[in-house]
């Protein structure tokens, strides 16, 4: 588990803008579980962040100065700017954000990477049919909340697993999950899953891994589909945790378990943004933001993800 002492706040002077460049000032910066993998030193799908480098990540930023024909001060963009107050861009890495659709912060949540992750993981990997049961772990997080609601929009039964009674209440009473339970109050997940998913599990959208995922696999219906989106319970391990070998169970249920990464769907982000934006506007897709104030609190905001102290999309407001 990283600690605040692993982070350092560094001030540097901004260079002046070249022709075609623009300067952006962060309004919101995102902290996400995937960043843990970038600073683990373990080979993965993306280049790691080396010690001393700026941590990567998305932000929503306002143009404060522009020598680019398409951008003027006051415009807002999503940009993969890392943990920085300012960024300089040539425009090629910007997604223009229309503030009239929804608050601009949603470009880092329900109408951004977490929302797109939920959308493609559910639609493409799980591909649920109306009437099926969709189980989501990490259900009170930015991705999980969206998965459950999209499942409901598709006509499914949505069941969530989360880490506090407050989150469970929120999911069922405010977000519209059909059922949810607190994994910290549950020692044996299989009977609990059979109780909250009386028709079995057709789709399991996994954000956490570990014993919860073992139990979900044991409760899969025939031709069940598991989307491995995150494994947050495992990210701070220095060696793989041991668990029961359950692949024989996949033969019994003829199920699949598939890993997904939202960047593979980049060509279809427009589709996701349009669908999710429409559902948000119609009030069918709710979102919740968990906002920490102050750039200096980035490490604390990030580390809290691993103890589950956020409900909804955690952002840092600058």
For residue 239, the minimal CB distance to its own copies (Å) is 8
Burial zone of 48 (CB within 10 Å; 0-12 exposed, 13-18 middle, 19+ buried): middle
Identify residues 132-161 at the interface with its own copies (CB under 8 A). Answer: none
Decide if 84 contacts 27 (C-beta within 8 A): no
Tokens of 241: 């945790």
Q: How many CB atoms lie within 10 A of CB 151?
A: 27
Decide if 178 contacts 158 (C-beta within 8 A): yes
Phi, psi for residue 142 in degrees, rounded to 5: -60, -45
| Residue from 155, 191, 259, 294 binding its own copies (CB under 8 A) | 259
With respect to its own copies, which residue has the nearer C-beta, 223 or 284? 223
For residue 38, the minimal CB distance to its own copies (Å) is 12
Pairing type for strands 76-79 and 133-137 reads unpaired
Identify residues 197-256 at the interface with its own copies (CB under 8 A). Answer: 206, 209-210, 213, 222, 228-231, 234-235, 239-256
Identify residues 57-76 at the interface with its own copies (CB under 8 A). Answer: none
User: Any idea of the CA torsion for 33, 37, 60, 280, to the nearest 10 degrees?
Assistant: -40
With respect to its own copies, which residue has the nearer C-beta, 206 or 289? 206
With respect to its own copies, which residue has the nearer C-beta, 8 or 43? 43
User: Any idea of the CA torsion for 111, 78, 65, 89, to the nearest 10 degrees?
Assistant: -160
Distance CA(290)–CA(308), nearest Å, equals 12
With respect to its own copies, which residue has the nearer C-beta, 29 or 228? 228
User: Binding segment for its own copies among 47-55, 180-188, 257-265, 305-313 (CB under 8 A)?
Assistant: 257-265
For residue 44, the minimal CB distance to its own copies (Å) is 5
For residue 106, the minimal CB distance to its own copies (Å) is 25
With respect to its own copies, which residue has the nearer C-beta, 14 or 46? 46
With respect to its own copies, which residue has the nearer C-beta, 120 or 170? 120
Distance CA(2)–CA(178), nearest Å, equals 35
With respect to its own copies, which residue has the nearer C-beta, 198 or 259? 259
Size of the site for its own copies (CB under 8 A): 37
| Residue from 257, 273, 301, 305 binding its own copies (CB under 8 A) | 257
With respect to its own copies, which residue has the nearer C-beta, 88 or 246? 246
| Residue from 17, 55, 172, 261 binding its own copies (CB under 8 A) | 261
Taking CA atoms, 36 is separated from 138, 175, 190, 236, 253, in Å, by 16, 28, 29, 8, 33
Interacting residues of 139 by C-beta distance below 8 A, sequence separation 6+: 145, 147, 148, 160, 161, 162, 167, 171, 177, 180
For residue 4, the minimal CB distance to its own copies (Å) is 25
First to last CA, the chain: 25
For residue 194, the minimal CB distance to its own copies (Å) is 13
For residue 33, the minimal CB distance to its own copies (Å) is 11
For residue 65, the minimal CB distance to its own copies (Å) is 39
Tokens of 283: 């009030």
Judged by the rule CB under 8 A, the positions of this chain that interact with its own copies are 44-45, 206, 209-210, 213, 222, 228-231, 234-235, 239-261, 264
């Amino acid at each position: 588990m990283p600690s605040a002492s692993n982070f350092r706040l560094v001030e540097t002077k901004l260079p002046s803008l070249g022709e075609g460049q623009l300067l952006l000032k962060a309004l919101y910066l995102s902290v996400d579980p995937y960043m843990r993998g970038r600073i683990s030193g373990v080979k993965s799908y993306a280049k790691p962040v080396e010690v001393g480098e700026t941590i990567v990540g998305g932000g929503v930023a306002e143009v404060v100065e522009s020598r680019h024909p398409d951008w003027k001060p006051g415009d807002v963009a999503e940009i993969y700017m890392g943990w920085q107050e300012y960024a300089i861009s040539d425009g090629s890495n910007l997604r223009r954000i229309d503030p009239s659709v929804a608050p601009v912060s949603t470009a880092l949540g329900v109408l951004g990477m977490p929302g797109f992750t939920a959308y493609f993981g559910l639609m493409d990997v799980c591909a649920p049919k109306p009437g099926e049961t969709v189980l989501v772990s990490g259900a009170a997080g930015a991705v999980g909340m969206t998965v459950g609601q999209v499942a409901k929009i598709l006509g499914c039964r949505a069941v969530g697993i989360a880490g506090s009674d407050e989150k469970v209440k929120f999911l069922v009473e405010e977000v519209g999950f059909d059922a949810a339970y607190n994994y910290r109050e549950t020692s044996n997940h299989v009977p609990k899953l059979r109780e909250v998913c009386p028709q079995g599990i057709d789709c399991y959208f996994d954000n956490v891994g570990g014993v919860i995922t073992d139990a979900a696999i044991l409760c899969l219906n025939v031709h069940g589909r598991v989307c491995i989106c995150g494994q947050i319970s495992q990210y701070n391990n220095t060696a793989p945790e041991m668990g029961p070998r359950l692949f024989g169970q996949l033969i019994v249920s003829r199920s699949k378990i598939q890993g997904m990464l939202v960047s593979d769907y980049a060509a279809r982000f427009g589709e996701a943004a349009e669908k999710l934006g429409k559902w948000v506007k119609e009030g069918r897709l709710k979102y919740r933001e968990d906002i920490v104030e102050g750039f200096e609190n980035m490490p604390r905001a990030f580390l809290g993800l691993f103890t589950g102290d956020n409900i909804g999309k955690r952002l840092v407001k600058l």
